[in-house]
Amino acid sequence: MKILVTGGAGFIGSNFIRYMREVYPDLFITNLDKLTYAGNLDNLRDLEGDSHYRFVRGDICDLQIVNELMSARPDAVIHFAAETHVDRSIHEARSFVETNVLGTYCLLEAAREQRVERFVQISTDEVYGSLPPSGRFTEETPLSPNSPYSASKAAADLLVRSYVHTHRFPALITRCSNNYGAYQFPEKFLPLMINNARLGKKLPIYGDGENVRDWLFARDHCRAIDRVMRKGRVGEIYNIGGHNEWQNIEVARLVLKELGKPESLLQFVQDRPGHDRRYAIDAGKIGKELDWKAETKFEDGLRWTIRWYLEHEAWLDQVTSGDYRTYYERMYAKR
């Protein structure tokens, strides 16, 4: 069997490729990634020289390269590639529209042309918008994206849906909650908190810190994607989540406690515009249909993740050098 993964040099994509190589020794994986600031070949350094893994640098908006890869008729396409950071989408949305919408269109067209038999669109719970203090997102929750990032993901999901409906294209959509684990770029909340805490820097908490996210360990997520890829029903949407809700401030405190750092490092900063208050996933459908549930207890996964970053300080130092500093100086100058 052979699969094409897009965005495999990023956080979840690299975890997914490593997971699949471990679980399926005979599987061939091609990874198409543009290597934006978020993509990093170091995330898969251990697979260099693996005869079952091939990296191709390229843009999913480039139909020539996408057509070429699809003509190898992969058994499945797992589409992770995206611009993913909400804060960046507030400052500059064009690349989100290009990659997340146009890029998904290019993949769909090429996959349809080559009669690819399975296409998994990796989406997000953020397409559903924000929840009040109670209730959870189901697959029937109306789409109500609030940021340019989530709007571009919702647009891509609708395009996928239209290909299923109009062209009988064999796609499935997964919508997961906030992932955490190894190799997450430290602009996202958890690795940012860990990185700043280890360096004794302030931990920027947006607004009152009481926004809630439903944390999902990346490896549990990879297991779910594998199950959807192999056993999911074409045309269906599967929500993936950890039933694991925490306020941001609680998570930041746990990080400080684990690292033995003082709470005086917490710094409340100006809120993100349009900041979604709460996300929570109802993962009942994937549980019932595909016998999946999140297995990692948050406290264990968090401890493992913190240890991973501490053991990979060189990785952290490398990805937070250069442009990263410029980005943060610009972001925080505005707050």
Catalytic residues: 125-126, 149
- Verify binding: residue 84, ligand NAD, rule CB under 6 A: yes
Q: How far apart are CA 52 and CA 231, in angstroms?
A: 23
Nearest to 39 by CA among 24, 25, 60: 60
- Beta strands, E only, 184-276: 203-206, 212-214, 216-217, 237-240, 245-247, 266-269
Q: Which residue minimizes CB distance to ligand NAD?
A: 10
103 scored as a contact of ligand NAD (CB under 6 A): yes
Contact between 99 and ligand NAD (CB under 6 A)? yes
- Going 83 to 108 to 176 to 137, the CA torsion angle's sign is positive
Between 255 and 265, name the residue whose CB sits nearer to ligand NAD: 255
Cβ proximity to ligand TYD, 83 vs 220, nearer residue: 83
Q: How many residues of this chain bind ligand NAD (CB under 6 A)? A: 30
Which residue bears the tokens 């004794």?
200
185 lines the binding site for ligand NAD (CB under 6 A): yes
In the chain, the N- to C-terminal Cα span, in Å, equals 49
Name the residue type at position 193.
Answer: M
Nearest distance, CB of residue 295 and ligand TYD, angstroms? 22
Rounded to 5 degrees, what angle do the CA atoms 228, 143, 219 make?
30
Of the candidates 108, 120, 122, 229, which one interacts with ligand NAD according to CB under 6 A? Answer: 122
Question: Between 49 and 78, how does the x/- string for binding to ligand NAD read (CB under 6 A)?
Answer: ----------xxx-----------------
Site of interaction with ligand NAD (CB under 6 A): 6-7, 9-13, 33-36, 38-39, 59-61, 80-84, 99, 103, 122, 124, 153, 176, 178-179, 185
